[in-house]
Amino acid sequence: MKRRPNDTRDPSTDSLSLREVSAAARTTTDQLLTISDGADPSAGATASFEADVILIAHPENRRLGTRFRLIPGGSLDIGRSPSAGISLPEVPSLSRSHARLRFQGERITLEDLGSRNGTFLNDRAVRGPVELESGDRFQVGSVHFKFLHERDVEHAYHEAIHQMVIRDGLTEIYNRRKFQEEGTRELARAQRHDRPLSLVMFDIDHFKEVNDTHGHLCGDAVLKQLAARVGDLLRPEQVFARLGGEEFGILCPETAIDGAVALADKLRQLFEEARYEIGKSEVVATCSFGVAAATPEMTGFDDLVAAADRALYRAKNRGRNRVEVEPGPSGAADAG
């Protein structure tokens, strides 16, 4: 699958492999375990439960999969400061002292330390110390973590790493590599059994202007909210993925071209009317769509992607906020 040039900030996990991430985590975890001065490992915690945080999304893809262990009675600060337990000086959206994790008794809490860009737990702003539950995701600046507090933390950790390899760290939907795997399998099945298969590709119009006007954190929030809204409208068998930057794909098994066009236009209208409230800002973002159907002549999934991509480029060139179909006017009718 040919990839378009992406924003260097794109937190893609496409290049990760389960073996590489696990190996990197094994070599770095022991070096990065951090507790505050005077922490007492016996301070009332249940010894059979470990508490870890895993770095799952970073604007430059650094240290993905790295695990940081919380010690009972201790605290762990996150920020750009060299003295922070999790020090990330390369991330400008972080404050020097951004957030703090505390392990007291059996409770692990997260609090914001008056940061410039805020701390978010499961997409909700953290106003004061809040208790974490195993599986929670939290965000500091443009860095995302997953919290684990399990009896069998190793199993939970490796499951989290597996999800990292197949899912986009920002939006939590499938990544491009997983989409390629599913598409290859579905195209072979469709051709073998003579069944319909369609592909919808779309991207956000003028997304660079969103980042330039409101900042990259706002752009990230738009991507997350958009992905959540699309996911709520899809059937279980449809495969939804972030293909890179602001580009997305929906693979539609057992769906002929007319059904895929109807889905694309439904989403187009949804985005046209949607408003994204990001802090004090309200962002409007339309999308352009390209739709294609599998044919017997296609020799691989890349052929189907290329067909939908041509239609998407045509939608952009014809004014954006519209749906185009490949092979275009000489074949299937366009919509818009």
pLDDT higher than 90, residue 203: yes
Determine the pLDDT at residue 209. Answer: 93
Residue 21: pLDDT band with limits 50, 70, 90 = low
pTM of the model: 0.79
> Once rounded to an integer, what is the mean pLDDT over residues 117-134?
94
The residue ranking higher by pLDDT, 23 or 147, is 147
C-alpha span between 198 and 200 (Å, rounded): 7
Which residues touch 310 (CB under 8 Å, ≥6 apart)?
Answer: 290, 292, 326
Q: How far is CA 251 from the centre of its chain?
A: 18
Dihedral, 84, 87, 89, 92 alpha carbons, nearest 10: -90
Distance CA 1, CA 141 (A): 32
Mean pLDDT (the chain, rounded): 86
- Would you call 246 a catalytic residue per the annotation? yes
For residues 111 and 100, what is the distance between their CA atoms, to the nearest angstrom? Answer: 5
How many Å apart are CA 89 and CA 79, to the nearest integer?
7
Asked whether the predicted pLDDT for residue 84 surpasses 50, the reply is: yes
Higher-confidence residue of 277 and 113: namely 113
- Which range is least confidently modeled, 28-42, 104-118, 298-312? 28-42
CA distance 203 to 32: 38
Q: Which of 20, 50, 181, 246 is catalytic?
A: 246
**pLDDT for position 52:** 94
> Which pLDDT score, from 0 to 100, does residue 127 have?
86
Element (H, E) at 161: helix 153-166
236 close to 267: Cβ distance less than 8 angstroms: no
Average pLDDT of the residues in 197-208: 97
Q: What is the mean pLDDT of the segment spanning 206-221? A: 92
Measured CA angle at 266 (ends 4, 209), to 5 deg: 45
Q: What pLDDT, on a 0 to 100 scale, did the predictor assign at position 152?
A: 75
- Given a cut of 60, is residue 46 above it in pLDDT? no
Give the pLDDT mean for 122-137. Answer: 94
Structure tokens given for 191: 């051709």
Integer Cα distance of 186 and 197 in angstroms: 8
- Whole-number pLDDT of residue 233: 93
pLDDT at 226 over 60: yes
313: pLDDT strictly greater than 90: yes
Tell me the average pLDDT across 125-137: 94
Question: Scanning the structure block, which residue is given the tokens 């997350």?
Answer: 224
Report residue 278's pLDDT band, with 50, 70 and 90 as the boundaries.
confident
